[in-house]
Each structure stands twice: as structure tokens, then as C-alpha cells.
Structure 1
Amino acid sequence: MMIHGFGFLSLSASLVLPWALTGLVQGQRITESLFKDVPQPSTVQEIPLPNRKLISRISTATTYYVSGNGNDRNSGLSTSSAFRTLQRAANLTNPGDTVLIMNGQYKNAPKDGAVLGIKRSGTANAWIKYKAYPGHFPKIQHNTWSGISISNGASYIEINGLEVIGNNANITLSYALSQKYNRSNPLTNGSCISIAGGNKGRSHHINILNNKVHDCGGAGISAIQTDYVKVDNNTVFNNSWYTLYGCSGISMLNNWSSDNNQGYKIFVTNNRSYNNRMYVPWIEAGKITDGNGIIVDVSKGYRGRVLIANNLTYKNGGSGIHSHDSQNVDIINNTAYFNQQSPDVKKKGKGEIYAGYSSNVKIFNNIMYPSPGNAANSNMKNVNVNYNYNVYPNNSTIKITGSNDMIADPQFVNASARDFRLKSTSPAINSGLKWKDVPEDIQGKLRVSPDRGAYEMR
């Protein structure tokens, strides 16, 4: 069973941040007094308003600035008085605030759990946003448990346009293997962006947008016990190499229902996820199990739906995309190429895109292109899982087909150069099923007569 960093259904404190602290702030409230003139001109009488509602003080949203040349003794309120550390700004945020991050390299202090630990929430109408300053490309470099952590139930948070870099460059495989029983080593187990669950609170309404996330020993982007999450237009690569936990590029584990909405609430869309791979056995199984491009994992009780659409996944150690022990997942218009690179995974032959131990899953309009002789898909102990309108090359192992699936060369422009657009002669063009919730392709082009795969060519 492929559960990221956990012993079957139990959560491991070592994967997530064990030192998250509570940080929610409630708005103060004030009473309103009415002053009225009375016959004596020198006196003022206060009239109580027992039937009036208390009026919340209206707070003005603040923009904080952080710079590689800043100073935490500054006010943080302008580009010329920017803070130096991300945490200085994070500790001040209130609903509606924005933290604009300028060029610079941001590192964790020794023994810190994250470079940026987010524990304060926004509200439905006033999100807290952490964004790259326009035209800037800040880098978060870490050797601890997370580059960015969202914990203690922090919600209504957006992370946008940042680069998060892990510790892989400083680790050798021999060192990582020597640590394969050490659950407490952040040097090998750290993740890039982590949304933590657990008894300190569950997060909801989180947007992870337009980030570059790479070289973390653990997960690239990991969401645990969350709801209303959007992971969109991120580039995620070279993660999961050295952890003893079963991690992947993008993982949604133990999805949590914060309400009874049965529509789409979790979106994993328009991402590029590649070369995420395990080199150290998962401690619970003693073997390589994961290193997937994208996985929805152990979410059988989730009442909402998950949409995985318009993603490119290639050359990952595990599958390109799959649903494991989950329900209510739609995997639509993705392109998966030459995944299953890990020998242990390849032997199992589960597929480029597939569902296992899952229910109520639709796998439509995808291109699944395994290396020669490997499995394109599979159907393991599923209930109500449908494959249709997909494309598989004729040199692959196809374990299940839908009535409109196609066995043919999709004719990529240049797969070896990572160009997975379709040639004009591709049979995938104009042959897909129109899916109303996927109106555009990975580049934002309208899907009129839908093509199969992540790209729309006409």
C-alpha cells in the first residue's frame, strides 16, 4: 500500500512538521456609542444601544515586502524598508494581507522546521497571499523539514510564483541509504511545500500556484488531510530521492471533507511533474513503492471530487498519475510518458495512469505512453472505474480498454526534447470527449473539438 510517509493508515509526525505552533488571530471588536446633546451645554450623555449588534473594526489589508537585502528591524512596508526573512512577515499577517517576496535566497535558520512556516489564516473574503514581487524570482533554499509549511489548520492561503529548492545537492545516495531507518533526519526527508494535517488542525482553501519545486529528499508538494486545494501550473522535479518515506512529486493524502459539497474541491491541474523518484526503500514496506508524478492516496472517505487535468508527467520512478485506495477522482486530458523508471515499480506493471483499490474514478482523454513492453494501465480491485477516450501506443501492455480508447502512435512533436505537443497528423486530434470542467488545455487554449492529452492543437 503506497502511503506517503506513514505506516498504513497512521500519520507519521516525522514526515510533517512536528513543531507547528498555533497562530490564528481573531479580529477585535468594539462597541458603538451615540452621543447626544442635553440641556446642559457642558455635559454629554452616552446612550446605550442594547439592541444594536457589535460592529467589527474594519482593518485595512497590509502589504509586506521581503528582500534578500532587507533587514528584520525594518518596517517591511515598502521595497526600501523590506524585511530580510519570510518568517518575520508571516508572523505579522492578518486576513487580507499580502507578502511580496523580492529577489534573494531565503534559508532556514539552524534547527528551524521551515524557511516559511505559515500558521495564521485568512478568511473566505480575505486570503493571505505570499507572492513573488512582479518580475522577481526569489529562491527558498532549505535543508530542514520543509521549505514552506502550512500547519495548525491555517486556511485561505495562497503561495504563488516562488522557487523552493531542497537539499538533494548536498546528499549522496550512500549517505541516504545509511539513514534509511532514521525517521528524524530532515537532511534526507525534507519536503518542498507541505500542508500538514493531524490533531493540531486541518487546512482548507489553499492555492499552490506557479511555483518551481525541486530537489527535495521528500515530497515536492504534499497535502495531508486537506480540503479545497488547488495545485496549478507548478513545475515539480527531482524530488523524493532520499527519503525513507514513500513520497511523490505531488501527493494528496487522506483528503478530508470539511463540508458536504460533492462537487470538485481539489484541483491538480496544468502541472509538469518529472524525475521524481525513490532511491531509498519505503521504511514500512522495505522496498521502492512510489516516486509518482501525481498521486491521490488513501482517500476512500472523501465526499468531494478531485480533478486531475492537463498535467504532463514523465520519467518519474513510479506512475505518472494514479488513484490509490481513493474515490471520486477524475483524471482527464493528461499526458504521461516513460514513467515507471524504478525497477521495483516496473516489475509490478501498474501503468502510466491508473487506479487501484479505488471507486468512482473516470480516466478519460489521456495519452499514456510507457517505455516499450511496460504497462500503460491496470485495473486492480476497482469498483466503477472507467477508462475511455485514451491513447496507448501499440508496443505497450494494455490491461483494460474503453470502447473509445485508441491504440496508436499519438505522434508527439519531439518527446525526447520534452515537447509533447501533437503533430498535425496525430490521431489524438479532435477525437476526445468534451469535458465541461476542462474547457482549456495546459497552455490556456480553448478546447473546441477536444484533443486527447494535455495539449489542444486545433
Structure 2
Amino acid sequence: DYSITDRSCGGGSDTAFDSFSGATAVAQAGDTVYVREGRFKEQLKVRNDGAAGNYVTFRNYESETVTITGATLKPAIDLTNREYVVIQGFTVEKVGRWLYFLEAHNNIVRDNSFSQAYDTAGSKAGIFFFHASHNRFLNNTLEDNADDALSLVDSERNLVAGNSIRNAHHALWDIRCGNYNVLRNNYFYNDQQKDGEVYDCDGQVKTYKYDSTRRNLIEGNEFDYTANSGNKSPFSGIQYAGQQGIIRLNRFHDTTGPGLRMAIYGVEAKNNWGNRVYNNVMHSSEFAGTWLQPGGDKFFDNIFKNNLLGGSSFVNNDSRWDWWNNTLKGKPVQAYIDRSDGYEFDTNIFVNASGDQEFLAVKGNGNRTSTSQRTIAEWNSGDSNFRNGSVVTDARFIDESGRDFRLQNDSPLIDAGTFLTQTLSAGSGTELPVEDASFFYDGFDIPGEQGDEIMLDGDSQAARVVSIDYNTNTLTLDRSLSWNSGQGVSLKYNGSAPDVGAFESGN
């Protein structure tokens, strides 16, 4: 007979508890546990599952501040072996570790604040997904972690969206031997190391899986800053060695290392292939917008289209290498291509106030150049992997200094992109065969997700992708279309062709 509104017994129909353990012992599917304002030095360990459409919910009452704190809490919130649970509106601070998704599925964690995790526990220190699937981590803030702030290890079909993640001693986030995960519309800033990592598992959480980090989607994120590494490999926006992933519509800017490092090294990062990198902005790095590294067992079929690279100037923060110290220092390096195979650059635009010149795209390693440097025009004519590159002197952003990379109406990037793929043959219906379906996304069977909206060249009607057969390169659509052989296919666009960069004008 407890009344939650006036916090008294006898005037209501609810049940009150004086501890998390008391409430979690009895909360069942369909129950909502409201937590009133206060500071709690107790772990929130959820004991019972909800059901589809009938979650167990733990949340703050109205807008009250509910804080979980205590350095011995490892983790502060535990969803191990739980399904269909909602965690909402908590402040977690000054704890050992933040939250576990271990063998956890179909849960929602939203609108929480996590700060100051002290335990140097690698993947386990922050938000830790392990053997977890179909979870949604939405609109949370994470700041100050002694190791990794968010890790998805051997987990699949999870959505991480709308979060702000700042400052971790290692990576802000990582995906390790996980598949079909989505990172969308997050903000990343790390004044201690790199922003993100994607690679296989070589002993992480006693897991060994190789060539097993496939079809993850990283889109619409802002990679704002990475720290100075000194005399070791520069800290990247993403240190990437995955397979068949999509990296699109992101803004990388003010990174001390490359925005996107296509890595190849050791055992955990020896498989980097089949990735599609398109419609990103890579701007104002102290290294290059992107870096393609040499070597490795598997580095092939990595395609870059419709990306905008500009504003970067090489700084030899790592002073161990003669070529960097004596030649590249101060040069306007936008793409650092340290290999001659495994990639394709198609219709990427470089921004440089002085126009086309050498060093916008460079080839070489730390100690020596491996070829004489070329202008972008010379790259187009002299490298079979590089075509249709161009240079503009002004991208005409809305506010370049304020890092607003939307396009003004007179931007030369509008309608300057290429179509992502083409149809294989003429036809009609809802089954669309294309040359390369790897550019597209069908929702990955994640709750609430929809597939891409696509358009054909010259057709004003859009259709939504409801499923993809990547083996046969077939898109199944939600409506019937008609098409010609070789007709361009892209994400929904305005005008005569897709734009270059992270924003489509008119949207």
C-alpha cells in the first residue's frame, strides 16, 4: 500500500523496498521498479527476465538523480544471463566497473550517465558485452575509464546509438570478434588514447577467433579528437582490421593520428578485407585522413567511395622515422597509402586551397618513400587502384571552423559522387540483383532497426531494403521497382547523383 508520489505507506497500491536486492528478487516481467533520489553503494544485479514486449524495468523516478557509487562495485550494474530488461536514468560514478552484458540478450540500457571507472580490467572495465546479442545501448554518457569504455567481445546484433563517450585510458570502444553490430550517431573524444578499435580475438576474455569480425556497421558518428601517441603508432579515430564492414557517413576531425587506420599487424589484426568505406568526412588530422598499412595475410577488396578528405597537415609526433621528420612534416597529407594492392579509391574528393599538388596522397613508409610523389591527377592516371579522384579548393561547408560539415547550396560536392554499385541485368520486382550488395544494410535483425533506403540512377522513387543475400548480391525491397542493366544503385539521394561527404544536401 505504498504511495510513490508522497513516499508513504497506506495511501497507494505499490510495494516499497529498501535495497536493490529486495526489489530485484521479486520484480517480474511487466514490472517497473522506480528508484527515488539518493546515493546507493549496492550493486544493481537484475535477478529475473522480462519477456518480449513485457520488460522488467528499473529506472529513476521522474527526473530525480539516482547515483550508484563505490569502488568495490565490479560492475555497478549486472545484466548477466538476463533478457528483456530496461535500465534507465541512473548515474553511475566512482566504481570499479560500469555494466555487464554477459550472455545477455534483448535488453535496453538508455539515458544513463557513467563516469570514473577505476579498474584496469581491459574489456571488462566499462560497458562489457560478451556473448551478448540484440541489446540496445542508447543515449548514454560515458566519461573517464581506466581502460576500455565500451567493449563488444564475441557479441552480435547489438545497437550502440546516440551516446557520448569521452576519455578512456585505452580505447573508447572496441569490437572484437563480433558480427552484425551497429554503432550509430555517437560522439567520441579521447584525450588519452584512440577512439575505436575493430579486430579479431587473440586471447581477449580467453577467446581465440580469427577472421571473425564481420559485417559491422559504423555510421553517422563524430570522431572529434585523439591523443598524441609520441614515439609509437599514432592514435586513430578507428584502428580497423575487420571484414566486410561498412564505415559510412562519419565525421573524423582533429585526430592526432589518422581518422581511419586500415591496420594490418600481429595476429589480432591480420584479416582486413571486404570493407566498404564511403561518404565520410576526414578532416584536420595531424597525420592523414586515412592510412592504409602494408603487409598482412589478408588485405583485399577494401573500397573507398565518395569520401571527402581535407584540412590535414602532417605532424611528426612520432619522431622515429626519417621520412616523416625530413619530408612529410608540414605537408598537406590527406591519404597515406603504404601499399600497392588490396584497395580501391573511387571518386574521393580532396580539399586543398592551393589546388592539386604532390603530397595530398602519399605512398611510403616511415623511413623512405616507395615511389616519387604524385598529384591526384597523376594518381588517377598512374595507379589502377585509384580513379576519378579530384581536388577542390573550397568544399563550401556550412561552418568549417565550427566543424559543421554540411554543404552550402553552392558546394562543388553536391551531386559529385558516384553510385555505389550497379544492377546486374534488366528486370522488375522486389528482388534486385546488383554487382555488389556489400555497401548496404538490412537491419541485421536488431529490434527496431530498418534497412537502407535505396534509389536507382534516374529514378525518383526510393525503396527500402528488407533483407540482403550477400552471397548472391541480391537486395529484397519493400516495393516493386523496374530497372535497366548496369543502372546505378545508391542510398537515397537528392539531385542527379549522390553527394560527396557525410551529408546529403536537401536532407
8 Å CA contact 1:333–1:367 kept in 2: the answer is yes
* Distance apart, 1:167 and its partner CA: 4.9
2:153 match: 224
Of structures 1 and 2, the one scoring higher in RCO (CA 8 A, sep 6+) is 1
Selected match of 2:410 from 420, 425, 434 = 425
The CA distance in 1 between the partners of 2:172 and 2:287, in whole Å, is 25
Query: Match of 2:139, as an amino acid?
Result: N
The CA distance in 2 between the partners of 1:415 and 1:68, in whole Å, is 43
Q: Aligned pair in 2 of structure 1 residues 402, 253: CA closer, same or farther (>3 Å)? A: same
Q: Aligned pair in 2 of structure 1 residues 221, 361: CA closer, same or farther (>3 Å)? A: same
Q: 2:283 matched to 1:369?
A: yes
1:90 match: 46
The CA distance in 2 between the partners of 1:129 and 1:223, in whole Å, is 19
Q: 2:447 matched to 1:399?
A: no
The CA distance in 1 between the partners of 2:251 and 2:152, in whole Å, is 23
Q: CA RMSD in A?
A: 3.2
2:292 match: 378
Q: Extract unaligned runs of 5+ from structure 1.
A: 1-24, 26-58, 71-83, 133-137, 169-183, 241-246, 257-264, 279-290, 441-445
The CA distance in 2 between the partners of 1:107 and 1:60, in whole Å, is 24
The CA distance in 2 between the partners of 1:366 and 1:143, in whole Å, is 36
8 Å CA contact 2:38–2:66 kept in 1: the answer is no
Q: 2:493 matched to 1:448?
A: yes
* Distance apart, 1:252 and its partner CA: 0.6
1:248 match: 171
Q: 2:256 matched to 1:271?
A: no
* Pairing of 1:52-201 with structure 2 (within 5 A): 60-69=29-38, 87-88=43-44, 90-95=46-51, 96-102=55-61, 103-122=64-83, 127-132=84-89, 138-144=90-96, 146-151=97-102, 153-167=103-117, 191-195=125-129, 197=130
1:238-262 CA distance string (max 9 Å, x none): 222xxxxxx3112111226xxxxxx
The CA distance in 2 between the partners of 1:143 and 1:276, in whole Å, is 21
Q: Aligned pair in 2 of structure 1 residues 274, 451: CA closer, same or farther (>3 Å)? A: farther
Q: 2:262 matched to 1:355?
A: yes
* Distance apart, 1:329 and its partner CA: 1.0
2:253 match: 337
Q: Percent same amino acid among aligned pairs?
A: 18
* Distance apart, 1:428 and its partner CA: 3.3
Q: Extract unaligned runs of 5+ from structure 2.
A: 1-24, 202-209, 228-234, 265-271, 312-331, 338-343, 352-393, 421-438, 442-451, 455-490
Q: 2:221 matched to 1:307?
A: no
8 Å CA contact 1:101–1:130 kept in 2: the answer is no
The CA distance in 2 between the partners of 1:375 and 1:310, in whole Å, is 16
Query: Match of 1:456, as an amino acid?
Result: E
More strand by share: 2
Query: Match of 2:116, as an amino acid?
Result: G
TM-score by length of 2: 0.55
1:319 match: 236
The CA distance in 1 between the partners of 2:236 and 2:132, in whole Å, is 27
Q: Aligned pair in 2 of structure 1 residues 128, 210: CA closer, same or farther (>3 Å)? A: same
Q: Aligned pair in 2 of structure 1 residues 115, 60: CA closer, same or farther (>3 Å)? A: closer
8 Å CA contact 2:174–2:198 kept in 1: the answer is yes
The CA distance in 2 between the partners of 1:403 and 1:89, in whole Å, is 50
TM-score by length of 1: 0.61
* Pairing of 1:206-225 with structure 2 (within 5 A): 206-225=135-154
* Distance apart, 1:91 and its partner CA: 3.1
Corresponding residue SS for 1:305: coil
Q: Aligned pair in 2 of structure 1 residues 120, 106: CA closer, same or farther (>3 Å)? A: farther
* Distance apart, 1:308 and its partner CA: 0.9
Q: 2:199 matched to 1:297?
A: yes
Count of residue correspondences: 315
* Distance apart, 1:376 and its partner CA: 3.2
